[in-house]
Structure 1
């Protein structure tokens, strides 16, 4: 009996050590994944726009991601994506897709061309048959023109200067990784000064409360309209707060990601020339 008890204790200790090791590795993986999300752009790059994003994983690692960076002095690249499934496999697929998109986006202003090439690579080598929804856009920060491609992702929301939220329409297109040979197409829209574009993943709209009710799109629109002119960080925090309140004690079932941009309009930099009279008065 003592021998059996000793054996049981040894097995329990080994299982506990293995669990702690796995949890430690997952925490490290989460830290690494969060660290590769983009950092805020320099203030000088944001003269014509403001941008804010947040990601709340449901587990230690996430199958969602977002990215943004300047493709040129006046072109802002935006992407948000959601991998099928959860856990480590989805996180690895998300990292691979994010890296592919960024590599293909270098000096290219057509999201359709970027996603067409990325899909070809994902579909050609995808033994696990995973797929990913992606919204990819390039904003001309001088004119406000947005060229975008929606590969099976949730439709973006445009929050107007009047405080009303409405959907941004796009052509129905195939998710990435499903099949090879897909040629994606781009749509166009124009952002006016003061308008806001909000991107999100379905972890928000499909969040469930204890009664198995979904948060749904209507509540998301209402949440955005409840404080439309708040600064972007507060706007996104308010939306997440309403989702958390709706869900209550129910566990978070999916990753939740939000990205918002406010277009401020292009203003040419003012250059001050010092004339002879100014120069003399400066002394």
Structure 2
């Protein structure tokens, strides 16, 4: 070969972006066999033969080359199939992500009561879910829950819980009942959570934390139950004072006979209630520091003069700045309620 030797040719083959693998056997007649071997391997050779050529050795080397190339082709085909399968799974997860977001409630007003939220899954789909809806003519129900773990298993249980809580039959039998006069009344929140605990205790190793409650539209009285979920934050906008409310309670679907407590608070004109997952307070920065409950409390308190939408945008911006690259290790979700008495009660 003019102007090029075998080692240079081998290097050029390895540098080329070829659609298939080229198996290279270096044939050398040099006396320095050990140094030739090192040079050849550094150049990218697969095998060696030394002159004079032994036909039997050449036949064995070629059989080995065909076997290795066959294995390489088999591996490449398997990789192509795996990539196709991965792409199909990715497309399915993207579709599931869209479907999950479509389950989220609309942001806006119900009888002058303002609702807003944040929803940032750590993966394609989240184990967190929340909702609010009119429970009766006098009450608005709300919940926020966080299924243990991450990924598809957690998200499937959150889908199931969302459907179970929100379907009309579930509302009639689990969330509300008719009194002696045939008027719908809310089932006490601790009984609702107990019923969910009994229903979903057989969910394998999965469990979930939640806050479930309802708001009396006319008076602003909130009654709720906290089941292992982070403590909600009650912000009195007139005083710019934010406080944690609630206690703890057992997660749901963990122990079959858990007892739950009813908690209450009074909201007045302009007050806000924030219910969130621990993915927010446990969000880590580059040096593995948690965002923390105190930082969340301070931000909500310092933005009391802003609209609810502006407050949540400020929180979103701060969390993304805190985390750094937008790759969150846990779902970050929050449901916010701003109380205003309906016009007929003002």
Bin for the TM-score computed over the shorter chain = 0.7 to 0.9
TM-score by length of 1: 0.88
The aligned residue for residue 111 of structure 1 is 189
1:85 aligns with 2:146: no
Which digits, 9 at most, give the CA deviation of each residue in 1:73-129, with x for residues without a partner? Answer: 221101011111000000011122222333222452421111111110111x22x22
CA 1:250–1:261: 2 relative to 1, 3 Å: closer
CA distance in 1, matches of 2:89, 2:342: 50
1:168 aligns with 2:245: yes
1:19 aligns with 2:91: no
Pairing partner for 2:130 from 66, 71, 83: 66
The aligned residue for residue 159 of structure 1 is 235
Give unmatched runs, 5+ long, in structure 1: 271-283
- CA drift of 1:180 comes to 1.1
Which digits, 9 at most, give the CA deviation of each residue in 1:3-30, with x for residues without a partner? Answer: 3343233122111101101111111111
Q: Say whether the 8 Å CA contact 2:226–2:246 is kept in structure 1.
A: no
Pairing partner for 2:344 from 248, 268, 271: 268
Q: Say whether the 8 Å CA contact 1:116–1:182 is kept in structure 2.
A: yes
Summarize the alignment of residues 197-236 of structure 1 with structure 2, pairs less than 5 Å apart: 197-236=273-312
1:28 aligns with 2:95: yes
CA distance in 1, matches of 2:159, 2:300: 29
- CA drift of 1:269 comes to 7.3
Pairing partner for 2:328 from 245, 252, 258: 252
The aligned residue for residue 74 of structure 2 is 7
The aligned residue for residue 34 of structure 2 is none
Which digits, 9 at most, give the CA deviation of each residue in 1:157-213, with x for residues without a partner? Answer: 11112222111134x321100111223221111101111111111111000011111
TM-score by length of 2: 0.72
CA distance in 2, matches of 1:243, 1:40: 21
Q: Say whether the 8 Å CA contact 1:100–1:118 is kept in structure 2.
A: no
CA 1:145–1:251: 2 relative to 1, 3 Å: same
Q: Say whether the 8 Å CA contact 1:109–1:138 is kept in structure 2.
A: no
Which digits, 9 at most, give the CA deviation of each residue in 1:227-263, with x for residues without a partner? Answer: 1121212211211211111111373100000111111
- CA drift of 1:226 comes to 2.4
CA 1:71–1:25: 2 relative to 1, 3 Å: same
Q: Say whether the 8 Å CA contact 2:111–2:342 is kept in structure 1.
A: no
CA distance in 1, matches of 2:326, 2:101: 25
The aligned residue for residue 57 of structure 1 is 121
Larger radius of gyration: 2
The aligned residue for residue 21 of structure 2 is none
Q: Say whether the 8 Å CA contact 1:209–1:250 is kept in structure 2.
A: no
- CA drift of 1:268 comes to 1.3
How big is the alpha-carbon RMSD for the aligned residues of Structure 1 and Structure 2? 1.8
- CA drift of 1:54 comes to 2.1
Which digits, 9 at most, give the CA deviation of each residue in 1:27-76, with x for residues without a partner? Answer: 111111111222346x5x332x1111121101001000111000112211
Q: Say whether the 8 Å CA contact 1:101–1:114 is kept in structure 2.
A: no
Secondary structure of the residue aligned to 2:83 is: helix
Aligned length: 264
